[in-house]
Chains A and B, each alone.
Chain A
Amino acid sequence: MNGQSGFLNNKKRVITHLLPALAVTMLLVGYGLWSAIAQSFQTIEGEWTFASYVQLFNSHTFFHSLKLTFRVAILSTLLALMIGLIMTRMLYQFFKNSSSKILVWIPILIPHFVAGYLVYLFFSQSGLFSSLFYQLGLLDQRSDFPILVQEEFGIGMILTYVWKEVPFVILMLLPVYYEIDHRYGEVVRTLGGNKWDAFKTVEFPWLLPVIVETSVILVAFIASAFEIPYLLGVTRPEMLPVRAYEWFYDGDWSKRPLAFSAMILPGVLALLLAMLCIGAVQQHRLRMVKGRGR
């Protein structure tokens, strides 16, 4: 009898089970977003104005920061995806037993800023690679080593994100690789296709939705993350989240609208990018689902 009531009251069950998670999410995201947008259009006296956006669009520093932010986000994502894909392809057999999967989890265990410290430890001018090249006789002094960390292009940040996100990409792609029927690959080979053909026609259609999902998550995350740029960035040009954070805590509250709009604009940009990618894949996804049903 107990169990029966559980299966009968379907609609009520859906609501009671989903409501807590949905309410918390909507409260945090819905209210937080609304409040952030409202505060970006208000002065501290509470008047409604576009002033903060006008000021941002008129400033060169803002566009430099925007460019840097998305350059770092997109380059790190692309590199992490490529390296992660190659590693998954070569290692999915190896990672099949769960004990070796622990290896992938280890880099995920540490926070991003510790990964930033690792990059600093290895790639700064007085870092370990610099020491190595000095010992090998390739450098005369430490200043001969190229500046890779805390410079304008964001190489240090990109290195950190790539290092940190490759294991994430692998963990996202591994389940797909176990799902793929690899006999199709053999079909391609018997029909005279090479390795690339096999990848293109068998694996890639399966991977595409996950690849798009992963890249959307990564770009959105990196474009709005504060921890790494705060550690490894430079002040000119500054990554947008750091700029926003500093405006947010700038003495009086007069710069707060700027802080909000400086975070909203990259957020909107990332969202548009995400929608574009997902829209492009949707068609493909539908075709996959139909194909599977046949």
Chain B
Amino acid sequence: MRFVFTRLGKRELVTSLMVVIFIAFFILPFVVVTLKSFSVGWRFPELLPQAYSLNGWQSIFRDPSLRESIVTTLMVGLYVVLLNLLLSLPAAKILSICSFKGKSIIEIALLSPILIPGMLLAMGLQFTMIRFGLADQILGVVLVHLIPTLPYAIRIMRAGYERLGTSLGEQASVLGAGPYLRFFTISLPLLLPSIRSLMLLTFVISLGQYALTAIIGGGNVMTLSLLYYPYFSSSNEAVIAGFSILFALLPLLFIGGVEIVLRLVIRAVNRV
């Protein structure tokens, strides 16, 4: 009995040590950057800031190009997320429940953007996009952002549908529910965790695109990532730190807004 006890204790100790290591490596840096965004002239060799102020954040929010680009970024992100949902939901459903000839080839085709360099595709598409008037526009940027996001969206939704199974849908169908009612009352609520991760991941990937946005957007579609590089070489370190924090805040803001909309939709549907 005592043997079991000490073993368990040791194991838990190791686990908690690992948790501490994980937090120290992956979470603590964010705290440091937040601290930095409120600091004044925190330079080598000081271990902690000597003074605090809101100057960094003030100069971020006073920059009109930055405010504009937050709107652009959110718009691009929203369209990318919506398109991903529209395209991946039906495809993932079929891939998870049907088997048919040539399925593996279609699967490989849908996942191919993961393995083929996105920048190469964007460079290849640029000339055509210019000819069709899609370049230098939000629509073109949204389309090209589908390259790094869609495969992940399909992958996530497919796993979601596989967990969901078909029995509940069949049951509802037997009871006379049509496809729309089935979707809104069964699939949507039960797939919510997958839909949430899809939206978060695709938004974050879209947020982090520099090369694709620059090549197709041509400097006209100024998303935040395009502004980050000039900021990085600017001298005010509190501003860069604040800007970096902004990148972590935007997905949270977005997902918070989406969450409210989702809740409203489900409530409205259930009332009918």
Contacts and interface: CB of A to CB of B under 8 A. Distances in A.
Contact of B124 (A33, A104, A221, A266): A33
A29 B108 CA distance: 12
B22 A14 contact: no
A167 B29 CA distance: 15
A104 B113 CA distance: 25
B115 A131 contact: no
B55 interface: no
B190 interface: no
B115 A248 contact: no
User: What's the dominant secondary structure at chain A's contact region?
Assistant: helix
B119 A28 contact: no
Interface stretch (A110-118, A148-156, A184-192): A110-118
B87 A17 contact: no
Interface string A259-270: 110011011001
Interface in B86-132: 86-88, 90-91, 93-95, 98, 100, 106, 109-110, 112-125, 127-128
Nearest to A132: B47
Interface stretch (B64-72, B177-185, B261-269): B177-185
Given A24-B150, A231-B232, A29 B114 contact: no
A226 B208 CA distance: 11
B215 interface: yes
Nearest to B174: A3
Contacts of A6: 173, 179
Name the residue in A134, A175, A223 with the highest tally of chain B Cβ atoms < 10 Å from its Cβ: A134
Contacts of A283: none
- A10, A20, A94, A114, most chain B CB atoms within 10 A: A114
B26 interface: yes
Contacts of B120: 32-33, 36, 224, 260, 263-264, 267
Interface string B76-94: 0000000000111011011
Given A28-B143, A29-B116, A21 B90 contact: yes
Contact of A28 (B32, B98, B146, B201): B146
Contact of A224 (B88, B119, B159): B119
Nearest to B193: A98
Given A111-B247, A130-B45, A2 B124 contact: no
A20 B172 CA distance: 27
Contacts of A16: 90
Given A22-B110, A230-B210, A134 B45 contact: yes
Nearest to B207: A111
B15 interface: yes
Given A35-B128, A131-B44, A134-B44, A20 B116 contact: no
Contacts of A121: 29, 32-33, 36, 241
A22 B91 contact: yes
A167 B90 CA distance: 29
30 contacts: A2-B177, A3-B182, A4-B173, A14-B98, A17-B90, A17-B93, A22-B91, A25-B112, A28-B121, A31-B124, A32-B120, A32-B125, A33-B121, A35-B124, A37-B124, A91-B22, A108-B201, A108-B204, A110-B204, A113-B210, A114-B247, A117-B240, A127-B44, A128-B32, A163-B26, A224-B118, A224-B119, A226-B119, A259-B123, A267-B117
Given A35-B124, A135-B47, A227-B208, 10 more contacts: A16-B90, A21-B88, A28-B125, A39-B124, A107-B26, A108-B201, A110-B208, A111-B208, A121-B29, A260-B123
Q: Which 5 residue pairs spanning A and B have beta carbons closest together? A: A111-B208, A3-B173, A36-B124, A224-B117, A32-B121
